[in-house]
Structure formats: C-alpha cells, structure tokens
Amino acid sequence: MNRIDQRFAELKAQGRKALIPYLTAGDPGPEHTVGFMHALVEAGADVIELGVPFSDPMADGPVIQKACERALAKGVRLSHLFEMVAEFRRQDATTPVVLMGYLNPIERLGYAAFADAAAEAGVDGVLIVDMPPEEAEELGPILKARGLAMIFLVAPTTSEARAATICAHGEGYLYYVSLKGVTGSANVDAGDVASHLAPLRGLTDLPLCVGFGIRDGASAAAVGGVSDGVIVGSALVSRIAEGAAAPEGIAPVLKKVLGEMRQALDA
C-alpha cells in the first residue's frame, strides 16, 4: 500500500485529522531542508509536501514566490529534491512525501526519468498545479506503474461535472483550495469550506484536505472540523524567511507553529 493511503487509513482508525505542512525545498539553503522535514514530523506532521522551486509559481502568493526565488538563487533544481527525499528516508521510512510544483521541470527531465527518480528516492505522490486530469493521460499511468499517487486540486469555482472528472483521476487525497486567490492571501471560512466539501463527498472516497488560509491553531481546528486534513504552507514558509539570517533557529520555530496546529486539531 502506498504510504499516503496507509497514513490516511491509520488516521481514520484513530479518528484524527491529517496535518500536512508544505516547505519550498532549498529555502533558505538546500542543506537545511531535510532537517526541517524531520522537525515537522516531530511536531506532528502526517504528510509532507515538498515544493519544487519554480520561476513562475502561478498559484502561489508572494511568500512562496520569494521562497522559490531564494532556493533557485542557491542553485536548487528538481534533481536536488530527489537527493533530499533519499536522505530523509534514511531516518524516516514511514512519513509520506509529496512533491508539489509545476509541469515545466518534469517535462524537461522527462516523464519516465522523473517517475523513476522519484520512486527510487522514496517519494509517494505528485501534485502538479498546472496539469489538469485531461492532460495527464501520459504521465498518470507512468506514475501509477511506479506506485506514485497523482494528487489533484479542486477549487471553489470548480463545477460539479469537472469535480467528478478530477475525483475519478485523483489518488492519495484531494487538495481543496479553500479560497479564490493565491496562497497566503486571505483567512479561511470553515463554513464556506464545509458547503463545498459536502458535494465532493458524494463524488469520491478520497480524503478531502484543505489548503490556503490555514494560519494558526484556530484556523486549523476550524477547517479540520469539516475536512479530513489541513495543509499549511505560507504560515511556515514566512517563518523560514524571517529566520533566514540565522537558519539554525528556524527548526524550533517551525516545530512550535506546527505543534500548536497539531494540538488544536487533536483537541
């Protein structure tokens, strides 16, 4: 069983909600990323989304855009992420890792080469923001053959017919974007999220996880009350930016921020 499926089965049996932090790989330097990943697991992360730095991250707000710029300035490329995940796996064989990013670097490497390298490194899933299911007919089977889940996004503006198509192709979990806009741009409305998740429940058995707008324990708990998990990115990436001048102090800050969300979710 894919590590993502295994983790969500465990959470369901325990009656707990998934906590999924996002990091931009290589920010503020590639030597820190694996340590951050371990720190987040210690704080209660169930799945880690590892962002692939890209020059034009269309769905991401200024916080993650600048993180991508910092990582790219350090020379971080897709190949380095495979090395990071492999290093992470030397100590952690159970926490699922999802690569999140955009299609261009994958196309440049080649679908089969990408899938082979990801699987060998210990990646469990892939979320490509700008690849809708209609365009995944070639890549999807390649990932599936290597045991990699292809995860898709659903937005508040997604029609029910299109949501059905997305759900039919999705694996691992469904990433519901809680608001119209980019990451880190607004506060999340749990009531509005609940109204959009309800029809999705009739379309898929996939866990429904919510990202965009999760800022603290209160917002995590509110959204966790109506979903299967919460995804937090900008709230963590902004802390990394704030501590970039003294990176050795970042991991404890990340653990504190995520730990408060873990505690709120479990409460």
Which residues carry out catalysis? 49, 60
User: Are 256 and 243 spatial neighbours (Cβ–Cβ below 8 Å)?
Assistant: no
The single-letter code of the amino acid at 172 is G
Question: Burial of 186 by CB count in 10 Å (0-12 exposed, 13-18 middle, 19+ buried)?
Answer: middle
Using CA atoms, how far apart are residues 158 and 15, in angstroms rounded to an integer? 29
What residues have CB less than 8 Å from 154, skipping those under 6 apart? Answer: 163, 166, 167, 174, 175, 176, 177, 200
User: Are 211 and 175 spatial neighbours (Cβ–Cβ below 8 Å)?
Assistant: yes
Using CA atoms, how far apart are residues 207 and 227, in angstroms rounded to an integer? 8
Using CA atoms, how far apart are residues 67 and 44, in angstroms rounded to an integer? 23
- One DSSP character per residue, 197-232 reads HHHHHTT--S-EEEESS--SHHHHHHHHTTSSEEEE
User: Are 48 and 23 spatial neighbours (Cβ–Cβ below 8 Å)?
Assistant: yes
Edge-to-edge order in the sheet of strand 48-51: 149-151, 125-128, 97-101, 48-51, 18-24, 229-232, 208-211, 174-177, 153-154
